[in-house]
Amino acid sequence: MRIFPEHELRKTQSLDGLWDFHFLGDVDADTLDVNDIDYTERMAVPGCFDATPAYAGKRGLAAYHRAVYIASAGRQRLAFDSVNHWCRIFINGEQLQDHIGGFGPFTADFELEEDGWVDLTVLVDNRLNYQRCPLHLDYMDWYHYGGISRSVVLHSLGKAWIERVQIKTTGLEPPEIGVEVLLQSTGEITADCVLLINDEAVMDQPITVNDGAGFSLNIELEGAHLWSPDHPHLNTLRVIFGEDDQAERFGIRTITTNGQELLLNGKPLRLLGFNRHEIHPDFGHALPDAILLTDLQYLKDMHCNFIRGSHYPQDPRFLDLCDEMGFLVWNESIGWQHTAEHLNDPFFMECQVTNLHEMVHSAINHPSVILWGILNESRSDDPACRAAYQALISEIRSLDDSRPVTYATCYPFEDLNFDLVDVISINRYPGWYEGQLEEIPAVLDRLAAHVDSLWADKPLIISEIGAGAVPGWRDRNEDRWSEQYQRKLYEIVIDHLFEQRNRVCGLALWVFADFRSIETTSRLLGRPRGYNNKGCLDEYRRPKNSYPLVKEKFSKLAR
């Protein structure tokens, strides 16, 4: 379960654990009577059923069920941190709500007339079906595991509750934050609202809520420590409203751009790190705390300060740990190589906007998140896609104006939307998909020169670059697919970008760990073992030959 937000007064109960389970297979959810399901098995929540041996590789509809004892009647809220990737929720056999898309935290509210046992059923569908769920498609390069993949918590909200608390840094000298609080109720209610920062009251006044109420205020925090990768100082803001409370954690830091630099608290950053998928062969997308921590320990050990969360919103628990360990994260909404056909489809765009809202609302208070991203490698070179880029980028800015926005392009020379972003990010595979190792410096120089000729005043990140290395494959020719080849490629890239040239302010190597790719045949022909083998570690997090090289290089470059 995530660490924050935290509640002391509000009644919450974790619904993580072993649920009843039945795999229904190729069944249409609309034709099903959920009261007739015969539960024969158990499944872990959080968990991905198709990462377990019994259901490995299976796609279809699955039913999850459990009974929950709810001690206080009134408004209840189920908070799902992610269900992959389509679901329908039922309370006591009554349909409550559908949700489309994995990796996005969402809630489902219902009223309970009297306390007692409640039957909770969740139908989960992991099929790759554009009509049902256009965010998970059969050509994308990662295995789309299915299940209730992140934690579930039940909140008993009572008559009035805190809907949202958002905190931004609004000044550094003196440190100042801007706080926005949204309250909600089931009728007109007046109650005391108290704000405490690190346990010290900074506001105490009665507030009346009727069909929602909100307020915002700026608070100076004289003498407070700033958050940075070297000193990840964290503070808590607790809001108490009547009988409800919510504590959020925040760090005081700004993230801005100035010409070619990305600035944290006004100082230039050099981002050094990896792309990272939240995937593991034994757990699918439902990584246990221990694996989240393992990943971060390895990244720290390599002197990385940067993680691109490819290609979907990261687990809130992971962001909690990044806040504590001082990592800088690019968090992006789900997307992968979309064309004009998708980007002009109102249903696809509606799903994108929902995923983007879920990402921003759940991650906005994390100081570790320094960049918002969208639409990995989509057709940013096609004029027919510009409206979608404009719409999604302005949507992000309307939700949060305190972080730079970017997207990773694979069309750097033809791109039409660089004007819309704060940071230009390029994915390129010289020495792998194009040309030989020796040509890498020239390719990188051409890219930088092109960006400079148009956008000399924007920071540039190489957001993907890498090579496949089948784990354990060491070969005297040291050619493609060998661990030695990957090591040589990393060496050339890192030396060239940071020792010979300093145009880029960030590098995210592709990719931290190997991961299973999608099962569609054409993709797998270029994916030995069915895996994307471009990891610096294998899928079980065992370092490859390039690991010590990255560690040595990054230790000298870290600033």
**Closer residue to ligand ADA (CB): 69 or 433:** 433
Q: Which of 376, 378, 425, 546 binds ligand ADA (CB under 6 A)?
A: 376
The helix (H) or strand (E) run that includes residue 490 is helix 483-494
Q: Which of 50, 81, 141, 245 binds ligand ADA (CB under 6 A)?
A: 141
Q: Give me the least distance between CB of 131 and ligand ADA, in Å please.
A: 24
Q: Give me the least distance between CB of 466 and ligand ADA, in Å please.
A: 7
Q: Which of 10, 99, 516, 534 binds ligand ADA (CB under 6 A)?
A: 534
**Closer residue to ligand ADA (CB): 235 or 427:** 427
The contact pattern for ligand ADA, residues 472-511, with x = CB under 6 A and - = no contact, is --------------------------------------x-
CA-nearest of 141, 96, 143, 150 to 118 is: 96
**Closer residue to ligand ADA (CB): 215 or 473:** 473
Hey, what's the torsion of the CAs at 310, 443, 523, 489, to 10 degrees?
Answer: -80
Q: Give me the least distance between CB of 194 and ligand ADA, in Å please.
A: 46
**Closer residue to ligand ADA (CB): 124 or 385:** 385
Q: What share of the chain is helix, strand, coil (3-state, %, to 5)?
A: 25, 35, 40
**Closer residue to ligand ADA (CB): 260 or 355:** 355
**Closer residue to ligand ADA (CB): 355 or 427:** 427
Residue 446, both tokens: 């051409």
Compute the distance between CA of residue 490 and CA of residue 213 in angstroms, rounded to an integer. 53
Let me know if 467 is exposed, middle or buried by CB neighbors in 10 A (0-12, 13-18, 19+): buried
How many other CB atoms are found less than 10 A from the CB of residue 23?
18
Q: Give me the least distance between CB of 23 and ligand ADA, in Å please.
A: 29
Compute the distance between CA of residue 247 and CA of residue 264 in angstroms, rounded to an integer. 25
Q: Which of 295, 358, 377, 422 binds ligand ADA (CB under 6 A)?
A: 377
Q: Give me the least distance between CB of 191 and ligand ADA, in Å please.
A: 48
For residue 155, give the amino acid letter: H
**Closer residue to ligand ADA (CB): 377 or 539:** 377
| β-pair partners for 66 | 120
Q: Give me the least distance between CB of 197 and ligand ADA, in Å please.
A: 40
Length of the chain: 559
The contact pattern for ligand ADA, residues 333-372, with x = CB under 6 A and - = no contact, is ----------------------------------------
Q: Give me the least distance between CB of 517 and ligand ADA, in Å please.
A: 8
Residue with tokens 């489902």: 108
Task: Reduce the DSSP state of residue 151 to 3 states and report it.
Answer: coil
How many other CB atoms are found less than 10 A from the CB of residue 194?
16
Q: Give me the least distance between CB of 139 and ligand ADA, in Å please.
A: 10
Q: Give me the least distance between CB of 204 and ligand ADA, in Å please.
A: 50
Q: Which of 151, 305, 427, 484 binds ligand ADA (CB under 6 A)?
A: 427
**Closer residue to ligand ADA (CB): 169 or 532:** 532
Residues 221-250 touching ligand ADA, rule: CB under 6 A, are: none
Angle at 369 between CA 308 and CA 373, to 5 degrees: 55
**Closer residue to ligand ADA (CB): 90 or 531:** 531
DSSP secondary structure letters along 221-248: -TTPPPB-SSSB--EEEEEEETTEEEEE
**Closer residue to ligand ADA (CB): 19 or 372:** 372
Q: Give me the least distance between CB of 141 and ligand ADA, in Å please.
A: 3
Residues 438-467 touching ligand ADA, rule: CB under 6 A, are: 464
Hey, what's the torsion of the CAs at 479, 484, 485, 491, to 10 degrees?
Answer: -150
Q: Give me the least distance between CB of 310 and ligand ADA, in Å please.
A: 6
DSSP secondary structure letters along 297-335: HHHHHTT--EEEETTSPPPHHHHHHHHHHT-EEEEE-S-
Compute the distance between CA of residue 378 and CA of residue 385 in angstroms, rounded to an integer. 9
How many other CB atoms are found less than 10 A from the CB of residue 163?
19
**Closer residue to ligand ADA (CB): 149 or 425:** 425
**Closer residue to ligand ADA (CB): 310 or 362:** 310
Instruction: Enter the DSSP assignment of 35.
Output: G
Instruction: Enter the DSSP assignment of 272.
Output: E
User: What is the number of the residue whose Cβ is closest to ligand ADA?
Assistant: 141
Q: Give me the least distance between CB of 432 and ligand ADA, in Å please.
A: 8
Number of residues near ligand ADA (by CB under 6 A): 10
Q: Give me the least distance between CB of 515 and ligand ADA, in Å please.
A: 10
Let me know: does 469 contact 486? Beta carbons within 8 Å. Answer: yes
Q: Which of 532, 538, 549, 553 binds ligand ADA (CB under 6 A)?
A: 532
Residues 257-316 touching ligand ADA, rule: CB under 6 A, are: 310-311
Angle at 122 between CA 134 and CA 92, to 5 degrees: 140
Cβ neighbours of residue 488 closer than 8 Å, sequence gap 6 or more: 437, 478
Residue 466, both tokens: 């890498």
**Closer residue to ligand ADA (CB): 142 or 241:** 142
Cβ neighbours of residue 390 closer than 8 Å, sequence gap 6 or more: 417, 420
Binding footprint of ligand ADA on the chain (CB under 6 A): 141, 310-311, 376-377, 427, 464, 510, 532, 534
